[in-house]
Structure 1
């Protein structure tokens, strides 16, 4: 290809990448929109323990097909979503948890904040988090007819002078985000600055959505803002959601069981985590008559034990933003703690999971749609347990993750038949010994074959590039380093080898 043409193509691909840099703080900027379901609350509690890892710039109450406040006038509403319409019919409100619950949990966060900041830098103050809370479009499912304080906050951030991406986490419906975009369109479409504004917003906004929980993305965002990047999780999140017993292999289910959660999260870890919702814990979510999980008799009906995990279906949206060395923010097709998605065949600005995106599950010995997320459960849960300890323990009594470095470039150009030496090192802040594991993430690469790794359990390993590897194919190799602390914590580095002629 001519050099000029190559540069144009490269620029186009970079423009389509769902991760284009970070804010001036060095952390990805993010806004959370939430409908307040029980799994949102648990997601929120865990997210607070990771709030040092990204730059939260908005916390917005929104609605969904499952939760809305009503307009207070007795207006009756029927869902646009067929399954919800059939289930609930015409309603004036639906299972509304209110607009104070985020404040309540931030107040609990305030009580453990002095201890958390001894373990890691960057935790936002409780006062700062409280200042970010706004009420968005909550009257009905999909309501986006008027500006709200929540939509105005989103609009302001999308129009600010910081060009870094803004990750819009959709834990409920997209309606408040849609209202913000509609307000921008209404203000600028008939002005000379509209092309510039539309490009600026489209370049900044990255939506991470867990299902479509109202119709506003399909009806408004997609047709009117076709260049906004979307990361759409429809299958992989189930390994962290209500249906986890069906999709998580039995060998990994202890990490989501009552014994694990009671010991590592619920008991003895301060007021924030004692409020975490679990099966049979006796707690009741205000405003939601269908939250019966705390009733032990109800738990037994579903064959759940006391303190079993309920759901954090939206957590992958911020797991994706945690930099653990897997480089998935460069391209979500690489796979990481927030799942693995591929570019849509019909929309180059949309990345999806679904039935066509599977990883090989060594427990079931099948390719599974949930396994790109499920495979990280041990590392994610151990990390959660360590952060729970950070709420109550001094630095010397808790565990902290190792740092992993490569002794060569992250991107290698290789040739068929070539012997490649891989080298990395892990250091641990607690002086714990570390274990090494090199492995090939087959599904993330484009070379369709397995690579034999020699000395895979050592800092220095080697591979021979297969002779049938064609030019342009990629091989993804992960250096995984786990410390021997309690709980064991894991961090990574990824090497991407691209085959040349």
Structure 2
């Protein structure tokens, strides 16, 4: 049993005194904690995340449960899922496909072997020892269990109550139950004290939950009713571009970046022990504890639901949007999830305050139709090439690998404009490897509020942009400056210019 520690007097006084100014104090790298149920796609997301661990400040790695994976209490106690799909599939069960509490340590062990080379390519990679110290076991006994005070919940509670005002992105790769338990521990400790209003405001300002679907009922039943001021990013569908159903979600011309010829050569094989542990179709790997992980069996490459696959084809990284959102590639999405970035695009809910979500309201027009998932699909090529470069970093010295170019806008990133005004399109670009650079400007039509929704992106050919005559007050147009280098693989970065009608 984990004991809760009362907040020191000085800290809750600090909360009362500094709450107003705290929102303005943001770290350069976003703080984040990952909670995961250990699904095979969590393993693959975890491997990719480790290769980007220099881009954010990891503060916790927590085993949790979900509607698909839980350990059970070891006493044979059975439960029936609160989630309709799981209830229909499994009925009353005592445990479900539990992969254990060692797989993160095993992957970090492989990370340790590539760390000496990987860390020469960019500053900020956490040491393997630091990552191991972050691991905690959260609420894993049953789907949605949030009664037990676990080390994982205690860690989340501690980080939410510390004196650092920077937001903490709480990634829910499985259920939200361990996050819910942490919040309930805070509520139980402070609700009946004079500190409660300051504590609640502090947590509301700090916690941002990025959840992939509802994988248990705790967001709906506890977090939203009891902590309505907490910001929630709710990805219910865009993640499918990087999940089991990618063949249906991603247009055929992008399939090669997810197929075995690319994945096997550029990521899985010949890039060291970490990416070799990446699960793919027909790779003959099998996750312990999950009898339904048959994807690696070369005789079972045809799936009635998802399609037919080849060796080393991508299986799933359904949880990757949660950390891809945190990577700064110049799109400004961290402060504005409605802008869109490598983690997709989420808009404020019209029904639930402090909630951003996907769906029809952020559908983007592509290939002659509105597509609910295109906000994630549009980045597949850039994402996969970037992943391949990070795999190279595991085994190649700096001068033999490729590194992303840099681009800086000339002028303000947001500008008030009038109809008919001509806006110069200028940016400064550099490349750490001295590669030839190609710069392109394009309008991200769906991200702006000017014009009809049934409008595709437009590549801009001129060095200046003429603002449409009929732009209305407050309407926005998003222009993206994109630079791609000539290295192998080609890498791309961006800057965004937002024009606002006067």
Could you say whether these structures have the same fold, taking a TM-score greater than 0.5 normalized by the shorter chain as the test?
Answer: yes
Match in the other structure for 1:397 = 400
Match in the other structure for 2:311 = 306
Match in the other structure for 1:130 = 132
Match in the other structure for 1:494 = 496
Higher mean C-alpha deviation, range 63-72 or range 413-422: 413-422
TM-score, normalised to structure 1's length? 0.93
**How far did 1:420 drift?**
1.1
Match in the other structure for 1:455 = 461
Structure 1 gap segments, 5+ residues each:
1-14
Match in the other structure for 2:381 = 378
Conservation of the 8 A alpha-carbon contact between 1:453 and 1:462: no
SS in 1 for 2:428: strand
Conservation of the 8 A alpha-carbon contact between 1:344 and 1:352: yes
Instruction: Find 1:201's aligned residue among 182, 200, 203.
Output: 203
CA distance in 1, matches of 2:412, 2:214: 40
Instruction: Find 1:328's aligned residue among 333, 340, 350.
Output: 333
In structure 2, relative to structure 1, the CA distance for the partners of 1:453 and 1:337 (3 Å cut) is closer
Match in the other structure for 2:11 = none
CA distance in 2, matches of 1:42, 1:21: 35
CA distance in 1, matches of 2:259, 2:98: 28
**How far did 1:300 drift?**
3.2
Structure 1 residues 430-483: Cα deviation after superposition (integer angstroms, max 9, x where no partner)? 000001110011111111167977535xxxx21111111111111100000000
Higher mean C-alpha deviation, range 29-38 or range 348-357: 348-357
Match in the other structure for 2:363 = 358
Higher mean C-alpha deviation, range 327-336 or range 447-456: 447-456
SS in 2 for 1:103: helix
**How far did 1:356 drift?**
2.7
SS in 1 for 2:484: strand
CA distance in 2, matches of 1:38, 1:474: 41
**How far did 1:348 drift?**
2.5
CA distance in 2, matches of 1:98, 1:440: 47
Instruction: Find 1:408's aligned residue among 393, 408, 411.
Output: 411
Match in the other structure for 2:45 = 43
Match in the other structure for 1:7 = none
In structure 2, relative to structure 1, the CA distance for the partners of 1:22 and 1:53 (3 Å cut) is farther
CA distance in 2, matches of 1:319, 1:452: 25
Conservation of the 8 A alpha-carbon contact between 1:23 and 1:162: no
Instruction: Find 1:430's aligned residue among 426, 430, 433.
Output: 433
Structure 1 residues 323-363: Cα deviation after superposition (integer angstroms, max 9, x where no partner)? 000000121000010110111011220000013321122xx
Higher mean C-alpha deviation, range 209-218 or range 299-308: 299-308
Instruction: Find 1:228's aligned residue among 227, 230, 234.
Output: 230
Match in the other structure for 2:60 = 58
**How far did 1:85 drift?**
0.7
Conservation of the 8 A alpha-carbon contact between 1:22 and 1:165: no
Higher mean C-alpha deviation, range 263-272 or range 292-301: 292-301
TM-score, normalised to structure 2's length? 0.93
In structure 2, relative to structure 1, the CA distance for the partners of 1:77 and 1:453 (3 Å cut) is closer
SS in 2 for 1:207: strand
Structure 2 gap segments, 5+ residues each:
1-18
Conservation of the 8 A alpha-carbon contact between 1:438 and 1:478: yes
SS in 1 for 2:477: strand
Instruction: Find 1:287's aligned residue among 277, 286, 289.
Output: 289
Pairing of 1:7-86 with structure 2 (within 5 A) = 23-24=26-27, 26-86=28-88
CA RMSD of aligned residues (A): 1.4
